[in-house]
Amino acid sequence: MRPSELAREEFVAAFGQVFEHSAWIAGRTWDKGLGPRQDSLQGLHDAFGEVIREAGRREQMALLQAHPELAAGEAEGEDLTPHSQDEQRGAGLDRCRPEEFAEFQRLNGTYRDTFGFPFIIAVKGLDRRQILETFRSRLRNTREAEFREALEQVIRIGYFRLKGIFPGGTGQP
């Protein structure tokens, strides 16, 4: 079945989990109207990105705050979604050395205190060292620049998650 042919409830059931605890994105994407373009990975991803970028600041902030902190799930019993758990494990964040774990914890606290939401990065294809380097670097951003970057990272994460739904990365689900 093509996404454009799904009823709203079916569409939200199929794609509501793509963005962390934010099924409203799938619902609003469906509400805007779906056509043949949204039956592809890139077309549907573009539609989701548009909904996120057009959302109000409060909704965007709630979307960012719905994300877990990096490397926190193991120690704090954070309730990671299956997607987040797989992504963090894939980047080796469940295998941090004690000093890496301590640095993640310190950076998580500093980042949240500075920006008001957790550090968000699409970890696919990155290792712990690269993630830590990016983490340190992004702490130097302004609040507004980091807010925009975090939203773009959420959209990028959505792409990788959608790619898992669309076999071969380009076809239909």
Residues identified as active-site: 67
Q: Work out the burial of residue 66: count CB atoms within 10 Å of its CB; fewer than 13 is exposed, 13-18 middle, 19 or more buried.
A: middle
- Cβ neighbours of residue 69 closer than 8 Å, sequence gap 6 or more: 78, 104, 108, 112, 118, 119
**Nearest in space to 143 (alpha carbons), one of 171, 166, 113, 168:** 113
CB 50 within 8 A of CB 26: no
Q: CA 44, CA 34: separation in Å to the nearest integer?
A: 9
E runs forming strands in 42-156: none
- Residue whose entry in the numeric block shows the structure tokens 């079945």: 1
